[in-house]
Chains A and B, each alone.
Chain A
Amino acid sequence: MSDALLEVSELRCGYGQIEVLRGVSLRVAQGEIVALIGSNGAGKSTTLMAVNQVIKPMAGSIRFAGESLIGLRADEVVQRGLVQVPEGRRVFARMTVLENLVLGAYLRNDHDGIATDMHRVNDLFPVLKERQSQLAGTLSGGEQQMLAIGRALMSRPRLLMMDEPSMGIAPILVTRIFQAIQQLNQEGLTVLLVEQNARGALKLSSRGYVIETGKVTIEGPSHELLNDDRIRAAYLGD
């Protein structure tokens, strides 16, 4: 697995005196869907924020396509194609759906490519096309999640990191969003999926990591993790 697109090793990170990540290591290879599961407060979101350099890590390394990301600004990380759909969606509520999507392409100048991607996003989530002049804050939770994913896709990412896309969303829309993730992956997008919905995430992914109190405790192919007794007891509710 030397051809890892993203390689995080021994990442340590925290807020003030509190250490949240106590040495997280994970890899994502080109073309994979990798699941990162764990309970509330285990450090999943912090891992993503640290990879994006929104939170500055205290120690460890983060390499993306062979290049270290440590010390870059957050916008430089996005420029390299590593983009996050944040927890809670965080769409720009007082802007229109269209403006949100345009902002996703903030760093791009290729007008033709942006137009192509706008079509792709609208094909993937037709509801965004229907609602393009509506304020994002007026969308339902599921629609906002679609918008957040669409907005991230507008930057044409090489690796998309999604933080709990199923959180607080009607089950039918969760299915729709998981289908979209699968479709995007089949079209070549690499995905790192953070989820509390462990079963859904493991079914979708090829490999998985379990993070507990700031450390990766279990890792392996997703079909094995689905049958792992520890995981079944703690995360799958069997």
Chain B
Amino acid sequence: MQDYEVFVQQLITGLSNGMIIALIALGYTMVYGIIELINFAHGDVFMLGAFLALTLLGAFGMEAWSPAWKFAGVIMMLGGSALFCGGLNWTLDRVAYRSLRKASKLSLLVSAIGCSFICTNLGLFWGGLPMGVFAGGVSAAAPKDFPQITPQTNLLGESAIRITQADVMVFFVTIPLMIGLVLLVNRSRLGRAMRAVAQDSTAAELMGIPVDRVIGMTFFIGGALGGFASVVYSLYNNTIGFQMGYRAGMDAFTAAVLGGIGSLPGAVLGGLTIGCVRAMSDQYLESRWTNTIVFGILVLILIFRPSGLLGSTRREKV
């Protein structure tokens, strides 16, 4: 393999993982944009989405399905996890956050951390269920293999650089979702209401916008994006575990802050940057330094450009 081929290969890996991180980061940034909460449970909601996908895969025996049916199976997992994660995120808001709207931001944050722990432990419990896909549930905390049900042929034929169906799938799922999200936020009635609540929730209330319902929908959409991401992540990386939400969540949170929290394009840019930095660090430094580099970037951003790459530099408050 030539040097440039290695670089291109790492770039493909980095961009693919970056798109997944971006999709999770969008959930952080949307919720932050509307109620100024870092929803710490978001990464764990993502993790539970992956567990649901594996459960569906096992329960229906998708591994034995024909290629066409496997494709249908992927769609089914995407839909199932998106609805589940969206619903779960909506429920967290309804139960744990809504009554704290007028409380201090710190109370809200502590509540979010609590939700994160609860979800992590639900994942631990889920991994212990006696199912074949969880290796009988003997070791609940152990990482679970997520079967490779997308084909692994190199679409570039004999080239040393590999692009597989899994890489293609990542882009085919994430890009339409991102475009759809931008259209929703900028063009739809709900999107207008979301932006209005984000800018001035009292003024929005006075215009007759049902603020709590709009916030709830924001949690649902952010959670659903996390659900889509969880299936793509699992099919791409083929290992899931109850602590993956923390890892992926930290990457996505860093991406959101790097891009400028509250900014949708910022979250995507941040996600791609973090994905590529990870891939390059794994290749050219050593993978044990990767976390240090990623969080080093977070610290530098917080010190020198707290508003992020694409965030607004001034805060607009009346």
Is B5 close to A, CB under 8 A? no
**Cα(A215)–Cα(B94), bound, Å:** 38
Chain A 91-118 against B: per-residue CB contact (8 Å), 1 yes, 0 no? Answer: 1111100010011101100000000000
Segment touching A, from B117-125, B169-177, B189-197, B287-295: B189-197
B300 to chain A, nearest CB (A): 28
Chain B 206-222 against A: per-residue CB contact (8 Å), 1 yes, 0 no? Answer: 11111100000000000
Chain A residue numbers with a CB within 8 Å of B199 are 92-95
> Are the CB atoms of B196 and A103 closer together than 8 Å?
yes
> Are the CB atoms of B192 and A54 closer together than 8 Å?
no
A118 to chain B, nearest CB (A): 15
Chain B residue numbers with a CB within 8 Å of A54 are 202, 205-206
Chain A 145-188 against B: per-residue CB contact (8 Å), 1 yes, 0 no? Answer: 00000011001000000000000000000000000000000000
Q: Answer whether A90 and B208 are a contact pair too, CB < 8 Å, given A103-B192, A103-B193.
A: no
Chain B: interface residue count, which band?
A: 10 to 19
Is A74 close to B, CB under 8 A? yes
Chain A residue numbers with a CB within 8 Å of B206 are 52, 54, 74, 78, 83-84, 86, 90
A82 to chain B, nearest CB (A): 10
A16 to chain B, nearest CB (A): 11
Counting residue pairs across A and B whose Cβ atoms lie within 8 Å, the total is 67
Is A230 close to B, CB under 8 A? no
Chain B residue numbers with a CB within 8 Å of A23 are none
Chain B residue numbers with a CB within 8 Å of A92 are 195-196, 199-200, 203
> Are the CB atoms of B193 and A73 closer together than 8 Å?
no
**Cα(A99)–Cα(B203), bound, Å:** 14
Is B316 close to A, CB under 8 A? yes
**Cα(A73)–Cα(B208), bound, Å:** 9
A155 contacts which of B189, B195, B207, B316 (Cβ < 8 Å)?
B207
Is B318 close to A, CB under 8 A? yes
Q: Answer whether A155 and B208 are a contact pair too, CB < 8 Å, given A102-B192, A103-B196.
A: yes
**Cα(A79)–Cα(B282), bound, Å:** 57
Chain B 306-318 against A: per-residue CB contact (8 Å), 1 yes, 0 no? Answer: 0000000000101
> Are the CB atoms of B318 and A106 closer together than 8 Å?
no
Known contacts A75-B211, A78-B206, then 8 further A-B pairs from the complex at CB < 8 Å, ordered by chain A residue: A52-B205, A78-B207, A84-B206, A93-B199, A94-B316, A103-B193, A103-B209, A106-B208
* A interface list, Cβ under 8 A from B: 52, 54, 73-75, 78-79, 83-84, 86, 88, 90-95, 99, 102-104, 106-107, 137, 151-152, 155
14 CB-based A-B contacts, threshold 8 Å: A52-B206, A54-B202, A54-B206, A74-B211, A75-B210, A78-B208, A88-B318, A90-B202, A92-B203, A102-B192, A103-B204, A106-B189, A137-B316, A152-B207
